[in-house]
Structure formats: C-alpha cells, structure tokens
Structure 1
Amino acid sequence: ELPEMYRGTPAEAIAVIEDEIARTRQYVAECQTTIDYLHETYVQRLRDLLWRVYASRTLAETIARYGRLRYTYLVAGWVPTSRVDALQREIRQASDKVLIEVDTPDRREDGHIPVALDNPSSLGAFEGLVTTYGRPCYDELDPTPVIALTFPLIFGIMFGDVGHGLVLALLGLALVSRKIRALRGLSGMGMVVIACGVAAIIFGFLYGSVFGFEEALQPLWIRPLEDVMDILIAAVGIGVGLLSLGMVCNMVNAALTRRWGHLLFDHNGLAGLIFYWSLLGLVASAFIGNLPVSPIPFAALAAVSGLMVTFSEVLEHLVEGHRPLVKGSLSTYLIQTPIELFETLIGLLSNTLSYVRMGAFAVAHGALSMVVFILAEIISPARGVGYWIVVVLGNLFVIGFEGLIVGIQTLRLEYYEFFSKFFSGGGMRYRPLALVSKERE
C-alpha cells in the first residue's frame, strides 16, 4: 500500500516523487556549497593546528628522554660533521641561554656511532644492495661506489648479449620513470637494472651476440661457446682482482682505525695479500711451462707470509701494544693456528674458484640461446612465422629466467666472496630528529 502522500493517479504520484527528488538535490547542493566554504575557510588552519599538535607531541616525547633539572634541560644527540656549524647557529638564534659542547668520539673506542651514508642519488639503488646485506660501521668503508662498478661488471660477463642487455636497460628506464603502475614498487632498483643492461650490451659486443644470433656481429674479444677455457681463465683472473681489491679495502679500514697490526698481519691484510699472490705465482710457475720466473721466490714469499698469517694474533698484539700476546693457553693456540692456516688456504681456494661461475654462466647463456634457435628450426625449418614466434618467446624466457638467476649469482659473489674480505655490516643507522612538513600533513 502506497503512503498517503502518494495517493491519486500514477501521474500525480510521479509528480510528487519528482518534486521530492528535485528538493532533495537542491538540499544536497546547498550542503556541498557549505562544505566547500568550510573547507576553503578552515582547511589551512586545521592543517596548521594538526602540524602543531604533531610537532608538540614529537618534541615532548623527545624531551622526556633527556636529563632535566629545575630550569635546565640536557639535550644530547648525533649530528653529521657538515651540519655542526649550521646547527649551532640555529640553536643560538633560538635562545641565548644555551651552552653547546661538541665532541668528536674516537671511532676506535665508541662502537655505537650512527652512520649516515652520503652517496649521490644515482647510487641510491646500489646503496640499497649494500644495506640489504648490512649497514657500514662508522670505521668501515662504504662499499656502495665499489659495488656500483663490480655488480654490473659481474652481471655483464655472465649475461653478455647486445639485445638482451638493451631490453634490460629499457626495463630499467621504465622502472625509473614509474609510468607502469604494476612496477612502481620496483622503481628503486631501476638504476641497477639500467647499469646491468648497459654492461650486458658492452659484453654482447665483446662476445658478438645479439638476441642469441652469433653471426650478427664479429666478436671484439671471444665467443664463450667456442673459447670455453679462455672465458673460464678470464673469470678466475677477474675474481683474483676482486678478492685482492677486497683485501685492500680491509687494509684501508684498518688504517682508518689505526689498527696497524691488523693491517699488516691479518689474513685479509698485507700478509694475507702477499700470501695469496705468492700461492698464485707458485701455481702459475708449476703449471705454465714457459713462465720465465723461478718458483723459488714465490715459495719463499708464501712461507714467510704464511707464517705471519699463522701467528697474526701474536704479531698484531705485539705491534699494537696489547697484552697478553695470546688469549687463552699457549698450547691451545699452537694447536689452533695450523688449523686456521689450513682454513685460510681452503677459503682462498674456494673464493677464487667461485668466480669460475662467471665464465660458466657466460657459456650457459650462449648455449641456452643456441637451444632456442635449434627449437625454432625444428618447429619451422623454412623460418616461417612459427620460427620467429619460438625465437621471440625463447629470448623472453632467457631474459626473464636466466636474468634472474644471473642476478642472484651476482649478489652471491658480492656478498659471500667480496664483502667477506672487509665488510662486517654491523653499523647503526643515523635517525635524526625530524618533523613532518606541513605539506605532507
């Protein structure tokens, strides 16, 4: 049964309903006008009030953590050296009843100094790779600039192809531009992908490969599939260089903290580096028949530096003035030192051989591309539409699947072989006291 107000003919009921709808719409419009007016009049005032509340709460919570007398607060904190003078000026402008004391801690004695990394924005993605492993300590080198060079280098060696590298570089540009909504979460890795793509293009020219076509370019260096031993030896050579660089970085870290004994005698210090290269020279003179160098100097250097590495703890304590020279019992130390030297030998060998995978993946990349063309020939010997469909899909598979695998292997070489020589990653992040801007509120 219809309500009383809608009684009458259907036309009369419709007229009443339409009139009610019109009056309701007019009321909604008037309400929206009022809302717009209130928004325009009070929104900035409300934002200011909200920001003041947030700022007051943040400052109150911060002050509560500091020491306080009746009329005095003791405020302590860390600030980057470059900001000290500016901060002092700002504090004195705010109040003349303040005493400021600046103290630069000794990095050797204070292990809780926060770290603020200062890298260009272009290296931000590589900084993310470093902090994923760990944040540098205050007394450590920041390996971000180094990994920005070595990461694309290692990736390019394993993934050398002009076409595949071009696709990766374009993908990196798309990530940086943030135009593809589904990929916006990965935009921070855009520069890494671009760098890896460019490195793959460079090695693609060196290998003479474009989307797996080996006949498209004349190689500027070698073809991994045809020169397997050459690429494997080159990979080991690059690995030796990177491991040596890691040891040099460890020595720089020791110099920064003035740990001269560690710099000279640690297994990743100068003695360890000489020991490593002496062993390499000894192996080379034994297996390369026409090497015009006697193995005797290498053997002598290996023996002397090996002894230094074996008794590195005693020598470090002696140079740095620490006592006792040996922690624990002497007999236990004499039993442990030969075992530790053996572990050092095994570690150097395994670290070096790990870089063989760079050459192996370069060969595998070429072989997988060759398989794609073999399958395409089987599907369409006349090289019709089916042939090119297989080639396109096969290349997409190689770029996606093998690109991911090569990226993981590159990370592994950086983290477990290179970083282990000098980087502990136990630093504390610098988190300055900051207020959110009014615009963000």
Structure 2
Amino acid sequence: MRLRTYRTQLFEAFSPRHQTVHALEVLAGTGAVELDANPKVNASLEVKTIVDAIQEFDRLAAPYRQYLPAHERRPQALEEKLDQVSQRAIDTLRRWIAEIESSLARLRELEAERDSLRLLQEYLGSLGEAHEDLSLLTHEQGMLYKGLYACPHEQPLEGELKHVFKEVKTGLRHRFLILVGLPESAPEIESAVRDGTCYRIDLPEWLAPKIEDWPSQIDSRLEVVQHDIAPLQETVESMKHDQPLRESLGDVDLLRWYTQQAAALTMDEKYCYITGWTSYSEPAQLEAELRQAGIDGFVRFLNVPSARSAPTRTLDTWWARPFQSLISLYGTPEEDEVDPSVVLVFVVPLLFGYMFPDVGHGLLLVVLSAALYRRWPEGRFLIPCGVSAMLFGLVFGDVFGFDNLIRPLWLKPLEHPMAVLIAPMVLGVGLIFLGLVFSGIESRWRGMRWHWVLVDAALIMLYLGGLATLFHPYGRYAAGAALAWYVAGSLILDRRQPLRALGRSIGRLLESVFQLTINTISFLRVGAFALAHAALSSAALLIAGATSSRVSYWIVLILVQALVVTLETLVVFVQTTRLVFFEFFIRFLRAEGRVFKPLLPPHKHDQTPSP
C-alpha cells in the first residue's frame, strides 16, 4: 500500500501546429496533465484574433439567445486554422440570423395584428347593442386626434386630461378608453398612456361601413392570421435545431476554452510546445495518448528547476476520495511527505461513529448523503461515517435514542461511563504513535534518518514507556532508557557545544512530553461525546414523554430527533476534524506542497456559458 504522495513530472510536448487544439483536448482528457503557465518557461500565444472573433460571435448571438440550438460542449477535433474556424462560425451564425429574422419579423407582425383584433373583439363585446360610441372613431371629425386604447382595469391614466373627450367601457379583461381631442392634445394623450400598459387599437381599413358586420369580419380575419402564424412558429422552432449552427456553437465553445489555456503554449512556424506537469511516470504514456488520437507528436520530461516545486497528487481512488476534503482543508502534502488518505478512510469513520453511536441516526445520515450524492459531492464522507455510527449503535444498543429496542453488543454508555471514556484513548495512543512513525518515514525520505534514530525515535520509546508505567512499574525502566537515549542522541548531533545541546534538548523534550500528554488526554472527548449523545437521547425521550397525547408525543419526538441529528452531526464533524488535525497531522504533516490541478476537458471546464 502506497504511503507517499504521487510526484508529478515536468514535461514538454510537441505537436504539429495545425493539431494544437486537438492535442490540448487529448491531454485534458487524460486527467493527468496540469498546464504550466510560468512566464519564465513559456511565452504567451497571441490569441487576440480568436478572442475578437468569439466576442463578435457572442455579440451577434445575444439577441437570439432563446432561439439558439442546444449543442455539445465537446465537438469533433479541430485540425484547421483557428481563424478559419471562428470566421466560419460567424458566417454560419449570420446566415442563420438572416433566415430566422425574416420569419420572426413576419411572426411579430401577425401576432400584433392578432392581439389587436382580440382586443377589438373584447371592446365590441363590452358595447352590447349600443354602437353609438364607435361613431367617434369612424365618422369624420375634421382634424381631431382620435384613439381607442385598451388598459388594465386597475391602471389609472397619468395626470388629468384637459380639453379631451373621454369615453370609458369595461370589458372582461381590459378597460377601454376612447380619447378625442384637438391635434395639440396629442402629446398630452400620448403622455397619459406612455407607460406601456395601455395598448392602442387601430381600426383596420377593411372593416365594413356597417358596425354590425364587424364581429364576423374580425372572426374571419383571426382565422386567417392564426393559420398564417402556425407555419411561422414551426419554422422558428425548426431553426432551433439547425445542425450547422449547432456545430458552430460547439466550435466556439471549444475555442473559448482553448483561449483560456493558451497562456501556457508557445508556437513557431511548425510546432506547438505544451509545457506542464503530469502524474504519468513515463513520457511514453503521454505520447501513446497523442498517437492514439492521430497526433504526430512526442513528449519529453524536463528537470525541475531548483527554485520550483512540483505539484503533488494524493490517493484518488473511489474509497479515498470522500476524505480528500479533510486533507485539502489542512494543506497539500509535499512529495517527501506521507499521504494520510489510507489512514483517514479508517480513522475518520471510527471517531465519528464512536461519538455518534446510533443505528437510526446513522441510517439517516447514509440516506441523506446518498440522496444528495450528485448535488453535494463533498458530503460523501457521511456515508462511511453513517455506517460507522450504525455499527457503534449496535455496540451500544441505541436506536433513535431508545436503548431498550436491541441488546447492546458491548455495554450501555450511561451504565459504564469510565469504560466508554477510556476505550477511545487506546485509539488515540495508536494514532499518535502512527503519526510519530510517519515522521520517521519522512525523515528517511529527506535524508535525515540518523537525526530521527538518535532523537525522535527515543521520543517514541519515551512515550510508550510512560504509558506502560501506568500499568506496570517496569515501564519506568523503558522510559528511563529512552530519556538517556534522547539526551545522548542530542549530544551526538551537536558535539561541538554539548552544554548548549543539553539545554536545548531538555527544552524540546519538555515541550514534546507536554504536547503528547495533552494530545493523548484530548481523546477523552471522544468518549465524552458518546456519553453526551446517550444523555441527549434520553432527554429527548423524556421531553416527548411529557406531552399529553400520542400525536403530540410523536411530533415532539420527531422534531427533537431532527434537532439532535443536525446539531450532533455538525459538532461531531468539527471534533473529528480537530482530532485528526491537531492530534495526528501535526505529528508529521507540514502540508506546504502545491496541489495538482489537472486540466479539465471542454465539456467539464467551468466556463462562462455561451449565449
């Protein structure tokens, strides 16, 4: 089982210039490449022409956002000049806009006529048999300004109209106004209805002189208009599936992604040079990926400059991934540090489950985390933690706070509090010991093996000897030998100034002993939270039992249980994180590394969506 972090290699890949975008896609698809944008290594690629083309495409497409076809985020590989690709996309969009705009213009015209005729229908219905009001609009009135307006029922006119005749009729959905005034009253009338909620109804010229014939004429015209609208709507809908534009949208998305990565590329007349970091151990692995995609390129590994550090990658298996968030919170291990992923898979659920031992509550955590698996991937750690809580619930015989439903496999916490407090300290001692061992492994990797053997190894012996003294008097002999070992080792390491070395070693020893003691005692909190859970569950049952009816009992019980699960999940997670960080990680993990961030392919890249 691998303990060391995965070291990445600095590489340089060469691909023919016309296959640049395709090569970048292939490398991103491996999930094992991080581009290096260090200006000392790479020169920026001039992409202004492509960026300008993308902006022009976006500007043209913006007014038609709702009509654009759905498209794939990852089109076929581009192996032609990028300015040709962008120009072709713009030409395709302009052709599509010209086609759809002619249909939309006619559609808007017909829809406006349809809406006006429907309002006129409603107005005629509000008149009943009394058509004399229409004479104000149909008869010649010299040079008067005349208008029929449909307004919402609750919409008042802006201001007071002076020297204007106003006739009001109420329809089913609108209030209709006939406004008649002198020509100089036109600005006043237009201002009164300028808010846009009132709609002017123009009487069509084809209406018959007899008002009684209007309803049938309007019905006939509405049928014709609706008949003409239907094929236009079908045409517009079909334009949403235009295949050439769909491909062009995909090409532009790929170019947009490419311009975001182009700072890490350099070009000459024939080749594109891609520099970055890879978790592959051999350049032949990257070459194989390129050649399999039909790219005639090659890859070589470079020496890492002394002033730079390679990014590192921790264990990334499906079972270790839920706990990577804990490592990222603390920091990234360097290449000469232990990757604690394997240990966290066991330690975090153990600590969490012991502090939250309940079969029912653990089941709720598992179900909730599984339900939110896709929306909240960071919460996947709750699945193993919930399973652990269920197992410890069996150990302590606790189901939703009831301790009489099942028989405990071990004991009931409130009946044996000392055993519950002491048991997790055994785990704590083991975890602290493991952290000290990991520190020794890292010392060997850094070439400081003898320093660890002479000093730090003695500290492990002193720690174990001190613990053994609590159970058997012979443990003090081991502790005394370890103390002599520690002092002698410190003097050997600093032979030239023995007195100074002795003083510093005693100071470091006292500090280390104090820290180890506090770290060990800190694991008492694990048992304390297990007892607190049992006490809180008992209190919840007592609160529910104090209610006056069966219905209120279950309502209160469910509410209190929900509160207990929420609070304890948060508190126990915080305590688990604290124990892992300050009692385990602190013993060996400096976490001064740089995380490896693989380049994402276009369909996964977090980018601004295209219009």
Which category describes the TM-score, using the shorter chain as reference length?
A: 0.7 to 0.9
Q: 1:271 aligns with which of 458, 466, 472?
A: 458
Q: 2:341 aligns with which of 144, 162, 165?
A: 144
Contact 2:314 2:341 (C-alpha < 8 Å) held by counterparts: no
Aligned equivalents of 1:38, 1:162: Cα separation in 2: 53
Q: Which moved more, 1:296-305 or 1:49-58?
A: 49-58
Q: 2:597 aligns with which of 426, 431, 438?
A: 431
Contact 2:467 2:475 (C-alpha < 8 Å) held by counterparts: no
Contact 1:158 1:362 (C-alpha < 8 Å) held by counterparts: yes
**1:46 partner amino acid:** S
**1:214 partner amino acid:** D
Equivalent position SS for 1:102? strand
Highest RCO, 1 vs 2 (Cα 8 Å, sep ≥ 6):
2
**For the structure 1 residues 332 and 10, does the alpha-carbon distance in structure 2 shift closer, same or farther, using more than 3 Å as the test?**
farther
**For the structure 1 residues 84 and 14, does the alpha-carbon distance in structure 2 shift closer, same or farther, using more than 3 Å as the test?**
farther
Q: 2:319 aligns with which of 110, 119, 122?
A: 122
Larger radius of gyration: 2
Corresponding residue of 2:518: 350
TM-score by length of 2: 0.59
Contact 1:48 1:438 (C-alpha < 8 Å) held by counterparts: no
**For the structure 1 residues 174 and 332, does the alpha-carbon distance in structure 2 shift closer, same or farther, using more than 3 Å as the test?**
same
**For the structure 1 residues 104 and 279, does the alpha-carbon distance in structure 2 shift closer, same or farther, using more than 3 Å as the test?**
farther
Corresponding residue of 1:416: 582
Aligned equivalents of 1:273, 1:10: Cα separation in 2: 107
**For the structure 1 residues 60 and 150, does the alpha-carbon distance in structure 2 shift closer, same or farther, using more than 3 Å as the test?**
closer
**For the structure 1 residues 234 and 308, does the alpha-carbon distance in structure 2 shift closer, same or farther, using more than 3 Å as the test?**
farther
**2:437 partner amino acid:** V
Q: 1:164 aligns with which of 335, 338, 361?
A: 361
User: Do residues 301 (structure 1) and 481 (structure 2) align?
Assistant: yes
Corresponding residue of 2:531: 363
Give the fraction of aligned pairs with identical amino acids, expressed as a percent.
Answer: 29
Aligned equivalents of 1:394, 1:38: Cα separation in 2: 53
Q: As a proportion of its length, which structure holds more strand? A: 2
**For the structure 1 residues 304 and 26, does the alpha-carbon distance in structure 2 shift closer, same or farther, using more than 3 Å as the test?**
farther
Corresponding residue of 2:379: 189
**2:518 partner amino acid:** S
User: Do residues 226 (structure 1) and 415 (structure 2) align?
Assistant: yes
Contact 2:361 2:390 (C-alpha < 8 Å) held by counterparts: yes
Equivalent position SS for 2:372? helix
**1:378 partner amino acid:** A
The alignment's C-alpha RMSD in Å is 3.4
Contact 2:425 2:520 (C-alpha < 8 Å) held by counterparts: yes
Contact 1:47 1:438 (C-alpha < 8 Å) held by counterparts: no
Equivalent position SS for 1:78? strand
**For the structure 1 residues 48 and 407, does the alpha-carbon distance in structure 2 shift closer, same or farther, using more than 3 Å as the test?**
closer
**2:543 partner amino acid:** L
User: Do residues 216 (structure 1) and 405 (structure 2) align?
Assistant: yes
CA-CA distance at 1:37 after TM superposition: 3.8
Corresponding residue of 2:259: 57
Corresponding residue of 1:86: 285
Corresponding residue of 1:134: 331
Aligned equivalents of 2:517, 2:505: Cα separation in 1: 18
Q: 2:546 aligns with which of 359, 374, 378?
A: 378
User: Do residues 206 (structure 1) and 403 (structure 2) align?
Assistant: no
Q: As a proportion of its length, which structure holds more helix? A: 1
CA-CA distance at 1:90 after TM superposition: 5.1
Aligned equivalents of 2:476, 2:319: Cα separation in 1: 49
CA-CA distance at 1:345 after TM superposition: 1.4
Residue correspondences, number:
403
User: Do residues 102 (structure 1) and 317 (structure 2) align?
Assistant: no
Corresponding residue of 1:281: 468
CA-CA distance at 1:62 after TM superposition: 2.2
Runs of 5+ consecutive residues of structure 1 not aligned to the other structure: 179-183, 286-290, 319-324
Aligned equivalents of 1:241, 1:222: Cα separation in 2: 23
Contact 1:271 1:308 (C-alpha < 8 Å) held by counterparts: no
Q: Which moved more, 1:21-30 or 1:212-221?
A: 21-30
TM-score by length of 1: 0.79
Q: 2:563 aligns with which of 392, 397, 418?
A: 397
Contact 2:349 2:384 (C-alpha < 8 Å) held by counterparts: yes
Equivalent position SS for 1:300? helix
**1:251 partner amino acid:** G
Aligned equivalents of 1:166, 1:49: Cα separation in 2: 47
User: Do residues 46 (structure 1) and 248 (structure 2) align?
Assistant: yes
Aligned equivalents of 1:25, 1:333: Cα separation in 2: 99
Contact 2:357 2:398 (C-alpha < 8 Å) held by counterparts: yes
CA-CA distance at 1:215 after TM superposition: 1.9
Contact 1:205 1:219 (C-alpha < 8 Å) held by counterparts: yes
Aligned equivalents of 2:538, 2:235: Cα separation in 1: 69
